[in-house]
Amino acid sequence: MLREAALVIGQSQDVTPNVLRSLELDSDRREALLEPGAPESERQEFRDWAGIKGYRAYNRFASGEWTYRSFEVSRPESGSPPPSEPQLHDRSIE
Structural domain count of the chain: 1
More confident residue, 47 or 93: 47
CB atoms within 10 A of CB 58: 21
In this model, does residue 1 exceed pLDDT 80? Answer: no
- For 12-31, what is the mean pLDDT? 95
pLDDT tens for residues 34-43?
Answer: 888 889 889 9
pLDDT tens for residues 45-84?
Answer: 999 999 999 999 999 999 999 999 998 988 877 655 555 5
Vertex 26: Cα angle to 72 and 52 (nearest 5) = 95
Q: Domain range for residue 15?
A: 3-93
* Residue-averaged pLDDT of the chain: 83
This prediction has a pTM of 0.68
